[in-house]
Structure 1
Amino acid sequence: MLQFAIRGHDLTNINSIEDLGIKTQLSGVRNMQLALGISFPNMPSDTSNINPGMGNYFKTRLAEHGVNIAILSCYINMIHPDLATRERLLRKFEAYVKNANYFGASMVATETGCVFPEISYTTENFTEEVFQETVQVIRRLVAVGEKHGMMIGIEPGLNHPIHSLEKTARLIELVDSDFLGIILDPTNLIAAESYANQVKLVEQAFESFGDKICAVHLKDFVLENGAVKPVPLFEGQIRVNEILSTISRYKPHSFVVLEETKDAWIGKAVQRLTTM
């Protein structure tokens, strides 16, 4: 048995927390990955804005609809080249870690950024120097997680400094903490030439550092012009049954977050998932 979740911002035309709770409930999902700034762009949610009352309000209102905030998102460019901007972003993330418990979240999630101000693919992300710099930043964030008893969920991806299973394993070795977790998104780690090995990749991830995997993202895809393009779940080439079977074997009751499956597609996907 797994706990399926959605990203709050995969529901569109959300005008209030009440909307978010109702539409999540109607989709048949009880768990959410919440990105405040994306779901509610007009609500101040920066470093000085996030607070215990805000967390309690979101937690209480969503609970009225049987919805739990499993993961609090704070996706930042943690290695932003402008150091003043980087510090501002890191402090925002740390504020989210400090307040995540009031939202009822189990972890705060982020990817590992880019050497450019705007996150994009560049081989400059893959140097040893950038890897070590990323490790130092994650070590800082994990220390804040330790202080507040909150898991830091790091999501590897091909465009980022932590871009492979090998780099992820090295990160875990260098940041030795129970409060470092890995959010595994298999689709973020495959390319057109490697998509056929997707199930093997998931198996290898659990064999290598399964004790650190704190959630999984499930994102379907098709190949378009030699690139991996996200599509709603069950509309592409991800091998859902085999991947879910692997997750269940290693991490029963784990959070599995549907990603890039939006609006009406969510209910359709959940119906199929719960009858598999």
Structure 2
Amino acid sequence: MNKIGIRAHDIGKFDEKTLSKKVMEYGFDGVQLVFKKAIDHPVDFNNLIEMKKHFQYPMIMMLGAYFNPIHPDPKVVEEGIENFKNHLKIANSLKTKFVGTETGSLMGSPWGYVKENHSNESLNQMIHVIKDLADTASTYKSYIAIEGAYAHVAYSPQRIKKILEEVKSPYVKVTIDLFNYLHLGNYQDRMEIFETCLNLLRDDIVIFHLKDFIVQNEKLVQVGLGQGLMDFPKIIRRIQEVKPEAYLIFEGVTGEDIKTSYDYIKSLLEGK
């Protein structure tokens, strides 16, 4: 059965012991962990004793080292690459395989949409960065999990496929976040887009981000899982058929929605 996790800082920011305990209280198998957002003190990469102690179970499903690989400021890109490589180096010591990032935006910060993001020039710039990261991943036998989004360089599953074909590394895998691909012009085609993700990328998918949404004031707005337009009974069934080993990670699910969302997805996995 697919294991269920949550982005740790959606629960809050705590020390390792407290955070681990809170994750277990909800029932999650693991976390997507961004140190600076979820841990209430600086993490020393040379001293991970507490992290290892408290995150054997729940496990660390993915380390988040998200950065903008095509930021217009080269210094920001350089710092992001260095930080990502440091995460690749420690991943195995924390018994996690994956370090995740998105594919970036020329807007800089925040990572919003500009039309140039979808150009071949931006794609090639991003591929160059991923090739470099893949060499480091190979050295440490850890894996990069890249995640597409409509506003970014990899605006479609086809674009992610192109990156995989160009990088040609077994150490580059994929996180599918269906919500990230959606906008007002295509959200009604969400299940078709999801099937495209499965068909094109199934061999490399390792994580699914689970999000739900409604349309409000001409915007797609996130809500708790099972409270919106996503057809989770079908989505979960298809994941079980195609990628039963992939991690299911809640992202952007907070507060009282955490428990109801967990109970809902768990019941679908169990066929109830």
Q: Please tell me the TM-score bracket, short chain as reference.
A: over 0.9
Which position in structure 2 is the counterpart of 1:4?
4
8 Å contact 1:5–1:31 — kept in the other structure?
yes
Which position in structure 1 is the counterpart of 2:62?
71
Structure 2 distance, partners of 1:124, 1:220, is 28
Amino acid at match of 1:160: H
Please state how far the C-alpha of 1:79 moved relative to its aligned partner: 1.4
Aligned structure 1 segments of 4 or more residues deviating by more than 4 angstroms: none
Please state how far the C-alpha of 1:221 moved relative to its aligned partner: 0.8
Which position in structure 2 is the counterpart of 1:31?
30
Structure 2 distance, partners of 1:115, 1:266, is 33
1:275 aligns to what SS in structure 2? Answer: helix
Gaps of 5+ in 2: none
Which of residues 252, 256, 259 is equivalent to 1:267?
259
Please state how far the C-alpha of 1:271 moved relative to its aligned partner: 1.5
Which position in structure 1 is the counterpart of 2:200?
208
Q: Map 1:33-52; keep pairs closer than 5 Å.
A: 33-40=32-39, 42-45=40-43, 49-51=44-46
- Deviation string 1:213-258 (CA, Å, 9 cap, x unpaired) is 1111011111122221211211211111111111111111310101
- Deviation string 1:37-88 (CA, Å, 9 cap, x unpaired) is 1112x5234xxx423x32x42121133xx31111100011111211122111
Structure 1 distance, partners of 2:15, 2:79, is 27
Q: CA RMSD in A?
A: 1.4
Q: State the TM-score, normalizing by the size of structure 2.
A: 0.94
Which position in structure 2 is the counterpart of 1:154?
146
Amino acid at match of 2:21: I
Gaps of 5+ in 1: none
8 Å contact 2:205–2:246 — kept in the other structure?
no
2:244 aligns to what SS in structure 1? Answer: coil
Q: Map 1:56-205; keep pairs closer than 5 Å.
A: 56-63=49-56, 66-118=57-109, 119-205=111-197
Residue identity over aligned pairs, in percent, reads 25
Structure 2 distance, partners of 1:275, 1:234, is 11
Please state how far the C-alpha of 1:117 moved relative to its aligned partner: 2.4
- Deviation string 1:181-209 (CA, Å, 9 cap, x unpaired) is 01000000011222222222111111112
Structure 2 distance, partners of 1:69, 1:258, is 14
- Deviation string 1:75-104 (CA, Å, 9 cap, x unpaired) is 111112111221111111101111111222
Please state how far the C-alpha of 1:8 moved relative to its aligned partner: 0.2
Structure 2 distance, partners of 1:274, 1:166, is 30
- Deviation string 1:20-50 (CA, Å, 9 cap, x unpaired) is 111111111111110101112x5234xxx42
Q: State the TM-score, normalizing by the size of structure 1.
A: 0.92
8 Å contact 1:59–1:69 — kept in the other structure?
no
- Deviation string 1:94-131 (CA, Å, 9 cap, x unpaired) is 01111111222120000011112201111121111111
Amino acid at match of 2:182: I
Structure 1 distance, partners of 2:244, 2:85, is 30
